[in-house]
């Protein structure tokens, strides 16, 4: 496994087609999914020569904590369906390597278990637009021990993920001959993840979407409760800010005005994101709006980004354009699926080594030295 892309190739063979389609896919025409990757081709490096980079470091400070690298693990729903104890092994790998990990609210492992395994983990919530349910969820997240809450705001409704329907993926999964065949023809996943989970932990449920346990992952006649997400507004965000005493981050911002309002409403930081191209097809790649958002927020406000990052050069490009930190999702899911926690740690190491190597070639000693002077539009 020499690059993060190698994990995707291996995971496509290892996972049943419906599950791989869920992890890998975007929505409708996959225009935004593709643009998240191709946007990096809009820039070229202008490297500097004869710079002593022998003492270069990847260490990066964010929210007063010094992390081992300028990237972390983005939240990914139902990771425990593709990898055994998926959210837990991501949290443990992040703790072992000194990077942040954001746990998804659409996860199949209790938030309390992840917080215990990694006290520095963050929790990402899909918040319904209902005050009582918001407050109940916040109480649970606080009691679990999370100090950082990430509120995702780009899912008033689920995107039109036609690829999931074509691959016969649904949540919950519907039992039937096709699903059984998918499992039988992928024995590594069947015995290493699905049956192992059932034997050791019982039927997985959506554990953290709300204050109480949700639907099982496999059911013939049960529906998920998404809550009234299309009711969510800035008034609800004000309620969250008033109630939540920890660090509060808004994820899913793309417009400059929304970034400014999030800051003014009390958000401690924002994550530029288009949900990995899974929501509104054709929406702009976050990297495109990054310079304008940074200029509007000023130099000191914590600004993070995700969606489409695969190489060390991608991370460095975002830092050069004004990001403080980058979050990477799908590749760590794939790595956990094929090799568990050691796989996730190897993937983290691969990305970190690319960044360190390219920093030397670029002529910088730390992530904070990378700037727009190192980039030229293609």
Q: Which residues are catalytic?
A: 275
Pairing between strand 71-73 and 122-125? unpaired
Among 69, 60, 77, residue whose Cα is nearest residue 97:
69
Radius of gyration of the CA atoms of the chain, in A: 20
Measure the CA–CA gap between 228 and 3, rounded to whole angstroms. 40
Crossing angle of helices 17-24 and 177-184, rounded to 10°: 90
Q: Look up tokens 């910088």; give the residue.
A: 364
Whether residue 1 contacts residue 337, with contact meaning beta carbons closer than 8 Å, is answered with no
Closest to 349 (Cα-Cα) out of 103, 121, 96: 96
Which one-letter DSSP state was computed for residue 321? T
Please say whether the beta carbons of 298 and 278 come within 8 A: no
Tell which residue, 231, 309, 248, 299, has the closest CA to residue 273.
Answer: 309
Kindly write down the DSSP assignment for every residue of 44-73, as one continuous string: EE----S---TT----EEETTEEESSSEEE
Distance CA 102, CA 62 (A): 14
Q: How many CB atoms lie within 10 A of CB 245?
A: 11
Structure tokens at 339: 């090799």
CA atoms of 297 and 153, how far apart (whole Å): 19
Strands (E) across 220-321 are located at 247-253, 269-272, 303-305
């Amino acid at each position: 496994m020499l690059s993060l892309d190698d994990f995707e190739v291996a995971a496509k063979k290892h996972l049943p087609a419906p599950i791989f389609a869920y992890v890998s896919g975007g929505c409708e025409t996959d225009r935004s999914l593709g643009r998240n990757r191709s946007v990096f081709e809009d820039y070229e490096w202008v490297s500097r020569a004869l710079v002593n980079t022998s003492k270069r470091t990847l260490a990066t400070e964010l929210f007063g904590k010094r992390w081992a690298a300028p990237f972390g693990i983005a939240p990914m729903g139902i990771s425990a369906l593709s990898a055994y104890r998926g959210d837990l092994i991501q949290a443990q790998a992040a703790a072992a390597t000194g990077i942040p990990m954001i746990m998804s609210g659409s996860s199949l492992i209790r938030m309390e278990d992840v917080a215990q395994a990694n006290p520095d983990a963050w929790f990402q919530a899909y918040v319904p637009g209902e005050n009582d349910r918001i407050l109940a969820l916040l109480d649970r997240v606080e009691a679990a021990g999370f100090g950082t809450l990430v509120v995702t705001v780009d899912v008033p409704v689920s995107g039109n993920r036609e690829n999931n329907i074509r691959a016969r993926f649904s949540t919950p999964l519907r039992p039937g001959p096709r699903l059984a065949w998918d499992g039988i023809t992928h024995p590594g996943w069947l015995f290493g993840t699905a049956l192992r989970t059932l034997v050791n932990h019982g039927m997985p449920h959506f554990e953290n979407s709300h204050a109480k346990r949700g639907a099982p992952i496999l059911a013939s006649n049960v529906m998920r409760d998404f809550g009234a997400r299309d009711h969510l507004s800035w008034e609800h965000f004000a309620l969250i800010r008033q109630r939540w005493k920890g660090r509060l981050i808004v994820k899913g911002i793309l417009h400059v005005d929304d970034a400014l309002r999030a800051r003014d409403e009390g958000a401690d930081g924002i994550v530029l994101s288009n949900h990995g191209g899974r929501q509104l097809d054709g929406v702009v790649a976050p990297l495109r709006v990054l310079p304008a958002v940074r200029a509007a927020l000023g130099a000191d406000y914590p600004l993070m980004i995700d969606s489409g990052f695969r190489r060390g050069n991608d991370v460095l490009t975002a830092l050069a354009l004004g990001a403080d930190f980058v979050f990477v999702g799908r590749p760590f899911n794939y790595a956990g699926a094929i090799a568990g926690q050691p796989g996730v740690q190897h993937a983290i190491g691969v990305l970190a080594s690319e960044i360190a190597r390219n920093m030397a070639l670029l002529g910088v000693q730390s992530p904070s030295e990378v700037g727009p002077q190192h980039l030229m539009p293609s």
